[in-house]
Structure 1
Amino acid sequence: MTYINHIASFVKYNRNKNRMTQEDLAAKAGVGLRFIRDLEQGKETLRMDKVNQVLALFGYRAVPGSQKIKDPYDIFINHFNIKVHIYLKNKIILAGVIIGSVSEENEIKAWKFVSNNNAVEFQKTKNENLIQVIQHSDIENVENI
């Protein structure tokens, strides 16, 4: 996944979190609706000044830096409430469903996860003891099953 796809996931996540339509976001950022659509679809050739106009609404801007193995906003957008395999850095593979996120200072730090073994019971009882919290920094990769 390229850096622009991370930004696309981040923008879409924050737009939805703030209950904004693409039209609302375009108007507030001072960019065109087409630009927002291109940005959220991960178009590779976008003007960075306009990208930063959009990011500024959420208190961010694009700057050079190292890329994480799996962007948390990509996980939220593409793997949330779907059966997944989570590949941990310690080589353990977990199968189940990501049901929530744990945030600190507006940044996702960990994931609430229910394993396939506990999914049926959790669905019936909503027993919090069946939820496993997985630190985002421990994740190597996530794939939909």
Structure 2
Amino acid sequence: MLVNAVTDTHSLGNLIRDRRQALQLRQPDLALVANVGIRFIVDIENGKETCQVGKVLRLLDVLGIRMTATSAPIHSSKRDDEPELEIDDDMEFPNP
């Protein structure tokens, strides 16, 4: 299995183009199989930032590309010695 980091639309476009070419598909053939327009294939391979996500996902599926999202851990800015704020449900606030 090949792992590629996709960090922007250009790297995604390059990944799609490389896979299409490895599968020996022409752009019109891929467009037909993925049920998208040829212009869409051209745009995504050129890194167009406004391509529709649903179509991109369909294209990736047709090409056999599986994407996995990872999340960085969330680091709290609160120090261990800071007390947590508590909210009193009975607090009354003045009307503005």
* TM-score (normalizing by structure 2): 0.61
Q: Answer yes or no: is 1:29 the counterpart of 2:34.
A: yes
CA displacement 1:110-140 (0-9 Å, x = unmatched):
xxxxxxxxxxxxxxxxxxxxxxxxxxxxxxx
Equivalence map 1:39-54=2 (5 Å):
39-54=44-59
Tell me, which stretches of 5 or more residues in structure 1 are unaligned? Answer: 67-145
Tell me, which stretches of 5 or more residues in structure 2 are unaligned? Answer: 1-5, 72-96
Larger Rg: 2
RMSD: 1.9
In the TM superposition, what is the alpha-carbon distance from 1:50 to its structure 2 partner?
0.2
Return the alpha-carbon distance in structure 2 between the equivalents of residues 32 and 5 of structure 1: 19
Aligned to 1:14: 19
Alpha-carbon distance change, 31 to 61 in structure 1, aligned in 2, over 3 angstroms: farther
In the TM superposition, what is the alpha-carbon distance from 1:61 to its structure 2 partner?
4.4
Q: Which has the higher strand share?
A: 1
Which structure has more relative contact order (CA 8 Å, sep 6+)? It is 2
Identity %: 36
Q: Does the residue aligned with 2:63 lie in a helix, a strand or coil?
A: coil
Between 55-64 and 15-24, the greater mean CA deviation after superposition: 55-64
* TM-score (normalizing by structure 1): 0.41
